[in-house]
Amino acid sequence: LQRSLDTTYIPIDNPVHACSLVVPTGVGYKHRDSAAMTVLSQILSSLYLHREIREKGGAYGSNAGHLQSGILQMSSFYDPNTVETIKAFGRGIDWICNGEFTSRDVDEAVISVFGSIDSPKNPATKGVSEFLHGLLPEDRQQYRDNFFEVDKEMVFATANAHLASYKGLSDSDWTNFNATERNGSICVIGSREQCPDTKDPRFSNWTVSKPFS
């Protein structure tokens, strides 16, 4: 299944929203920067998005993660906002690229990641990563070992190496995201009342879709 890069709003009969941004990083699971990207996303999620989207914006939840396919994703759910949340996604990239976090933040993020990757696995999932992604036990061990090398300087360098093209974009660049030009996608599922008017120049790059079309 392939889909084009786009900026899409899916209106539904619900007063709150689910917002999502995905951008490619080119950092796959076996890449030397994969562990640093995972830590980066953990810091972004717990220190920036939580504050801006949950505490200030009033969303029930927010998250950032780095997928083993080389995708950075940010999301919110049960979110009363759309435009302000998308601005927060973009500002979050600036925040992480500017190194506005501490060495202790990195250490705490690494511990949190270890808690996830070392947690007991459901027997039903055994062999899934090998089958779907060709990942061998030694690949997973190398990925785990790489976390011992992650520090603030590495996270800062990794952010600027792989997210530089998104750094410094204006709020309007994000809220009227040109998905093809910028290489990424934004999707919002939410209130019909807040559906963007694509005739408005501020939202000219948006596509309004029907649910499940």
pLDDT tens-digit readout, 181-197: 889 999 999 999 999 99
Q: What is the mean pLDDT of residues 66-83?
A: 96
Q: What are the two backbone dihedrals, phi and then psi, of residue 8, each rounded to the nearest 5 degrees?
A: -125, 140
The predicted pLDDT at position 136 comes to: 78
The predicted pLDDT at position 17 comes to: 97
CA–CA distance from 168 to each of 90, 93, 96, 114 (Å)? 8, 9, 12, 32
The predicted pLDDT at position 208 comes to: 95
d(CA 148, CA 49): 25
Q: What is the mean pLDDT of residues 149-175?
A: 97
Full-model pTM: 0.91
- Structure tokens that stand for 158 in this block: 């990794």
Q: What is the mean pLDDT of residues 100-108?
A: 97
Place 60 in a pLDDT band, splitting at 50, 70 and 90: very high
Residue 16 has pLDDT above 80, yes or no: yes
The predicted pLDDT at position 131 comes to: 60
The predicted pLDDT at position 2 comes to: 46
Residue 212 has pLDDT above 60, yes or no: no
Q: What is the mean pLDDT of residues 91-112?
A: 97
Average pLDDT, the chain: 91
pLDDT digits (tens, 9 = 90+) for 17-43: 999 999 999 999 999 999 999 999 999
- 20, 73 in Cβ contact below 8 A? yes
